[in-house]
Structures are given as C-alpha cells and as structure tokens.
Amino acid sequence: MGLAQLQRHSIGHVGLLVDLRLPHGTVFNPEDTRPLAQANIWATAIETFCVWLGTLSQAYYMRGFWEEMFGFRSAYGIAMAGYDQYGKRRALLAAHTGTIGAGASAIRDGLDPGGERRPLVHEIGHPARPNYEQAITANIWHPHHIPEPFALRNGDITIDAHGAPGGFGDPIERDPAAVKRDLDSGLTTPDIAERIYCVEASYDTATQSWAVDAPATARRRAAKRAERLRRAVPVQQWWRAARQRFTAHTLPPLISEMYASSMRLSEPFAREFRAFWGLPNNWNPEVH
C-alpha cells in the first residue's frame, strides 16, 4: 500500500483523515525496501493508528465529550523479523486474526464483527486461563509485546493472546441484567462475571438460564470499592516512585531503547518527557 493510500483510510466505524510525516529511514519510510514485507509495514501502521485513536478518545473524555468516545482495537497479526533457515533476512506476518469488532461507547454497546465462528484450540480448556499444552504437542512460544530474539524450529508454534476492544466505564457499575444476558448467551463465564463485574449469579436448571443474586452482588461490589481504596495512592506518591526508575536508569533494556529512539526522532517529545518527569535537560536513557 502506498503512502497516498495510507493518508486517507477508514478503520472500523471511524473515518480518518491524516497527514503522515514519515522520517526517512524509519520502518514507515525505509531506505531499502527489498528485505521488507508490505504486510509487516501495514501491521505496524494499524497498531500505531490504534494507539492514536485510544489517546484521542481519552482526550475526548477529559474534555467532557463522552458521546464522541469509542473503545477501539485494530485488526492485528503477529509481526516478526529475522533470518530464515538459509541465513536470509525475512519479515513475517501471521495475519489470520483480523476480525475484532468495535468497542463500546457512551451511547451504544460494542459491535460484533459478525461472520461464522468456529471453536478455537484454547476453548478446549477455560477461556480465561487456556492450557494450550493439553491440546497441542509442540514447543510453544508466547512472545508478548517485544520479546528478546529467539529461534523457531520446524514444528514450533507461536501463540499471541490478544485483547479485544475495551468497554466503557467501570465494569462493576455495569447493569447486572446485561451480565446475565452474556451468561445466558455464553459470551462470558461465571467466574469472569464474579471477578470482573462483581456479579453473583447461579444457574437455574429448571429454566436453563442464569439468575442474579442482587443482594450478594451489591455486597461484592461494595467490597471491591473498599479494596480499591486500600490499594490507591496519591498521584504525587506514584509519580515520585515511577520517576526513580528514570533517575536510577533501572528500566528494562528494550524500554530504554524505545525511549532513546523516540527522543532522537522528536526533540519536542524529548523536552516534554523530561519536563513531565522533572529530569535534567541532558538526561537520556541508558542503552547498552
């Protein structure tokens, strides 16, 4: 896909008009395109748009424009790069998981992407804690985010457990009747209803449906709010503790490298970053 096509694109239910200014030599505007796969560039672009849309939505919230907010999650794939068995540089995209619907907003529930859905391997076990080893005989890798380099051999399998679009608001303020509908339709499980939404429910074999225990639900939600208050810390206290990771240079190596490259690419970002964390003007992440 060319840059002109990227400049105007519609993602999900959100129409975008963007002006891309891509520094020469970056992954979006590389000097040498021969070793690159277009699919990899596309996957990175989609993820970047996803972060931008999430930030825009938070800005809407802070300004009070709740109806304009949206929970967004892009289509995605597992993007990798490295050397193949012949010693050649290769880019790889496993992009067969691109059917994520739109998240909820202040004026509507989330949107299902639709289409026929077949059971996945992990559904042999529990959906929230799948045990892949029970269903697969192979060396299984779970490369979350940006892993350290690792080698794949014939028969190995990579698995990426990816989140769907976000909801809107506090989950323990969700209408218990909506949680009951999810239980009845099989969209959630009793323990998720209990842990995430703090809804107590039991299955009625006579009616073959779930029944919500309203008093028990109210007690569980009150207990959850009390637990949050016990864990909460003032923002200034959090800021001081988080700042120590920068002043002591104790960030993970890949995170330090990310901040260093971002600060090299954008002087305004570097100034804002140092100002927010109260760092000296000559502070830079340590990259080894």
DSSP 138-194: S-EE---SSPPP----TT-EE---------SS-GGGS-HHHHHHHHHHTSS-HHHHH
Domain containing 20: what range?
Answer: 1-169
Greater confidence (177 vs 91) lies with 177
Distance CA 70, CA 54 (A): 8
- Span 50-67, mean pLDDT? 79
What is the model's pLDDT at position 247? 94
Greater confidence (205 vs 10) lies with 205
Judgement on whether residues 85 and 97 belong to the same structural domain of the protein: yes
Judgement on whether residues 40 and 119 belong to the same structural domain of the protein: yes
Please identify, among 216, 232, 248, the residue that sits at the C-terminal boundary of a domain. Answer: 232
Greater confidence (103 vs 1) lies with 103
Q: Assign 275 a pLDDT band (cuts: 50, 70, 90).
A: very high
Q: Assign 2 a pLDDT band (cuts: 50, 70, 90).
A: very low
Judgement on whether residues 26 and 142 belong to the same structural domain of the protein: yes
Judgement on whether residues 56 and 136 belong to the same structural domain of the protein: yes
What is the model's pLDDT at position 13? 39
pLDDT above 70 coverage of the chain, percent: 62
Please identify, among 232, 259, 274, the residue that sits at the C-terminal boundary of a domain. Answer: 232
Contacts of 123 (CB under 8 A, 6+ apart): 130
Judgement on whether residues 189 and 128 belong to the same structural domain of the protein: no
What is the model's pLDDT at position 129? 61
Please identify, among 137, 152, 169, the residue that sits at the C-terminal boundary of a domain. Answer: 169
User: CB-hemisphere CA count at 13 Å for 182?
Assistant: 19
- Span 10-35, mean pLDDT? 60
Judgement on whether residues 227 and 237 belong to the same structural domain of the protein: no
Angle between helices 253-265 and 267-277 (to 10 degrees): 130
- Span 277-284, mean pLDDT? 95
Question: Is residue 101 pLDDT above 60, yes or no?
Answer: no
- Span 61-88, mean pLDDT? 70
Question: Is residue 8 pLDDT above 80, yes or no?
Answer: no
Domain count, the chain: 3
Q: Assign 15 a pLDDT band (cuts: 50, 70, 90).
A: very low
- Span 127-134, mean pLDDT? 62
Weakest-pLDDT range from 122-126, 139-143, 250-254, 260-264: 122-126
What is the model's pLDDT at position 7? 36
Report the chain's mean pLDDT, rounded to a whole number.
Answer: 76
Q: Assign 201 a pLDDT band (cuts: 50, 70, 90).
A: very high
What is the three-class DSSP state of 91? strand
pLDDT in tens, 261-270: 999 989 999 9
What is the model's pLDDT at position 29? 72
Of residues 47, 54, 7, 224, the one with CA closest to residue 145: 47
Judgement on whether residues 261 and 123 belong to the same structural domain of the protein: no
89-97/76-83 β-pairing: antiparallel
Judgement on whether residues 19 and 81 belong to the same structural domain of the protein: yes
Weakest-pLDDT range from 47-61, 176-190, 236-250: 47-61
Type of residue numbered 264: R
Question: Is residue 17 pLDDT above 60, yes or no?
Answer: no
Q: Is the dihedral of CA 172, 176, 180, 181 positive or negative?
A: negative
Judgement on whether residues 192 and 115 belong to the same structural domain of the protein: no
Contact present, 92 and 81 (Cβ < 8 Å): yes
Judgement on whether residues 78 and 51 belong to the same structural domain of the protein: yes
Judgement on whether residues 164 and 175 belong to the same structural domain of the protein: no
pTM: predicted TM-score of the whole model, two decimal places: 0.58
Question: Is residue 114 pLDDT above 90, yes or no?
Answer: no
Percent helix, strand, coil in the chain, to 5, is: 40, 15, 45
Greater confidence (212 vs 162) lies with 212
The strand pairing partners of 212, in sequence order, are 201
Judgement on whether residues 112 and 223 belong to the same structural domain of the protein: no
Contact present, 174 and 197 (Cβ < 8 Å): yes
- Span 230-243, mean pLDDT? 94
